[in-house]
Amino acid sequence: MVIDERLPYAPYPAPAGTAVAAPPAPIASGGGVGPWFLARANLGVLIDLLREDGRTVIGPAVVDGAVTLAEVRSVDELPAGVGDEQVPGRYRLVQRGDRRVFDFAVGPTSPKRWTFPPVVPLNVGRRDGRAVSFEPSPIDPPRLAFLGVRACELAALGIQDRVFLGGPYTDEDYHARRRNALVVAVNCTTAASTCFCTSMGTGPEARGGYDLVLTELDEGFVIRAGSPDGADLVARMPVRGADAGQMLRAAESVGKVAAMMGDPVPTAGLHDRLLAQFDSQHWSRIAERCLSCANCTMVCPTCFCSSVTQRSDLDGDVSTSERVWDFCFTAGFAKVAGGSFRSRPRDRYRQWLTHKFATWVDQFGTFGCVGCGRCIAWCPVGIDIRAELLSIAPPLGARPEPVRPKPVAATPGFYATARIVSVRPETADVTTLTIGDVDPAFLAGEFGQFAMVAVPAFPPVPISISRFGRDTIDLTIRAAGPATAAIIGLGPRDEIGVRGPLGTSWPIERAMGHDVVIVTGGIGLAPLRPLLDGIIARRDRFETVRLFYGARTPADQLYREELRAWAARGDVEVELIVDRGTPDWTGPVGVVTHLFDQATWDGEHALAFVCGPERMMEATVETLESRGLPPDRIFVTLERHMECGIGLCGHCQTGGLFVCRDGPVFALSQLGGIFGREGM
């Protein structure tokens, strides 16, 4: 008995990157035991049988320089030996020099053109004096057989089933057309550079939703039935049982296609990542290229937007209503009485992409994309949605929720030893020590964490890690007392005691896709330096990056060569100010918040990172809030007396928090009324 695999809604999506299954288990039917093998010379028999059953066969044919779907009357009309090359914005045919008829990727048309046609009559309205009547248009779809449907297109049919048949209201025209259609699918043994069905879990192997599925080999086709109608067709065809070698080669050919595509669009968490970037400036950059031509939606096998048009006689007594394809890219699609609420191309592109990969999930439980790549190949300007998704909503990496590295020698009585590699004076009282021979836990630390540093005869001090190297860390230290003076007085090859890394870190992942504002003063640049390193290393994942840095005098600026290098990059805005100028200083003089006075930007789409004296941070926070940054997008780092670094000594308690354990990096919203309150 053949199990009917034409599910009401095709199983979609399967887990991303699903490997091709082993050769299928035998299927018993009245026609024998499968899988079966059909010789290439007998493929015409299948087409003839479908036509004998009163079906119009819709299959691949070369039309106007593309392999498109059209009525096929004989096997000679199939594109034997024809392949295709597809890249963003380009499609062309190539001659393969073989006899294969399905060795190409998807063309510009899909079964949607027949199951959900571009124009469908709805009703005829009549006016007779004051009386009106409406006569529904008859639903009489043709009997069709789709030949050569790919796995991604099967998934697209399943998605449209959910849209038109899966809710409280159904589209009767669509229902009738689907009921009248028989589907002969083909497993993909080749792929275009634009294909990404593996990411969407829809291919290249057909997993359901078909009556028959073929896998093409040089000598013929391995066939499986997915429904009783499919099994009945097999029973009437000149087939024999497929041997083990044929089944293995069929599975291997599909597996190679899956391996070739890989996983170009990481979909884990994509729904939330994309909606979190609703205000990203990247939408504007896409809009500079997008023509709003709607090519992407016209070739898409799942898009279902439509409008109703009216055709009337001159008297207005008889009119015909028709449902026609419409597209969210057209200027009038979102038109209301007061104008269009998506008048800008950026808004229309955002609507399309966020619907495909986010809100479609909320509405129908699946993505609205099957990874066929048509929108990439047929975009006149070559916009590649895979690249745009990675730019707008990049994956969060291997640790989407950062896990703090387990610190070395966390117990206050124990220290690991490390060796000083180099000593570099930064200012008159600030020195950077590069530390080697450190425990690997330090090298796995995160931006904003600190170390407890000790030398014999002096109390331990907390020092922010100012850079993570391949096998070293930097500690930038200001001589503020006997202990810090003793540490910076050491030289290369001297050893020190270290514990850590400790504390919380700057949430760099949250800043991806946003503007970044970094405000700091004096030695406060040191704990922010790793954050800048991380942003610059992945600069394409952030929008505008602005650094505002204040120092007492020009001579008190840290990392002066790096400041110049950052400014020279062109993609980091660096603005400097000093409290007291010198004869050779040509920049502004004042406190760091004065740098905001003439600024034209707002913080609506920004995250801010602030470090410096607390009064300076209080003034900065007030200014940032006035520019539209809410407390949960402003991050500060607090300085308190610490001796243990792990919340056991009580020195750094502020309110209900221990700065060493719960911080030192906090979102302003975490601190509530603690921040800026005297005596806390």
pLDDT band at 409 (very low <50, low <70, confident <90, very high): low
Q: CA angle, 582 as apex, 578 and 584 as ends, to 5°?
A: 110
Q: Quick: pLDDT tens for 563-622.
A: 999 999 999 999 999 999 999 999 999 999 898 887 778 787 889 999 998 889 999 999
216 CB-near residues (< 8 Å, 6+ apart): 100, 101, 102, 103, 186, 187, 189
pLDDT of amino acid 673: 77
pLDDT band at 160 (very low <50, low <70, confident <90, very high): very high
pLDDT of amino acid 27: 38
CA dihedral 326, 327, 329, 331 (to 10 degrees): 20
Q: Quick: pLDDT tens for 439-458.
A: 888 888 899 999 989 888 88
pLDDT, the chain, mean? 87
Q: CB neighbours (10 Å) of residue 540?
A: 10
Strand 220-225 to 240-241 pairing: unpaired
Q: Quick: pLDDT tens for 50-81.
A: 999 999 999 999 999 999 999 999 999 999 99
Instruction: Name the burial class of residue 2, with classes exposed (0-12), middle (13-18) and buried (19+) by CB atoms within 10 angstroms of its CB.
Output: buried
Q: Quick: pLDDT tens for 13-59.
A: 333 332 322 333 333 333 334 699 999 999 999 999 999 999 999 99
Query: 476 pLDDT exceeds 50?
Result: yes
> How is residue 348 written in tokens?
């229309």
pLDDT of amino acid 112: 96
Q: Which domains occur in the chain, in start order?
A: 1-395 (no CATH), 416-502 (2.40.30.10), 509-674 (3.40.50.80)
Query: 91 pLDDT exceeds 70?
Result: yes
Q: What is the DSSP letter of 231?
A: H
52 CB-near residues (< 8 Å, 6+ apart): none
Q: Quick: pLDDT tens for 481-536.
A: 898 999 999 999 999 999 889 999 999 888 888 899 999 999 999 999 999 999 99
Q: End-to-end CA distance of the chain, in Å?
A: 77
Contact assessment for residue 409 and residue 646, using Cβ atoms and an 8 Å cutoff: no
pLDDT band at 405 (very low <50, low <70, confident <90, very high): low
pLDDT of amino acid 499: 87
> How is residue 643 written in tokens?
């001796």
Query: 8 pLDDT exceeds 80?
Result: no
Q: Quick: pLDDT tens for 614-624.
A: 889 999 999 99
pLDDT of amino acid 53: 95
pLDDT of amino acid 470: 86
pLDDT of amino acid 24: 33
pLDDT band at 651 (very low <50, low <70, confident <90, very high): confident
pLDDT of amino acid 190: 93
398 vs 672: which has the higher pLDDT = 672
pLDDT band at 680 (very low <50, low <70, confident <90, very high): low
Kindly state the percentage of the chain with pLDDT values over 90: 59
The average pLDDT across 264-284 equals 87
Q: Quick: pLDDT tens for 337-384.
A: 777 778 888 888 999 999 999 999 989 899 999 999 999 999 999 999
pLDDT of amino acid 396: 64
Check: pTM over 0.75? Answer yes or no.
no
Q: Quick: pLDDT tens for 97-134.
A: 899 999 999 999 999 999 999 999 989 989 888 898 88
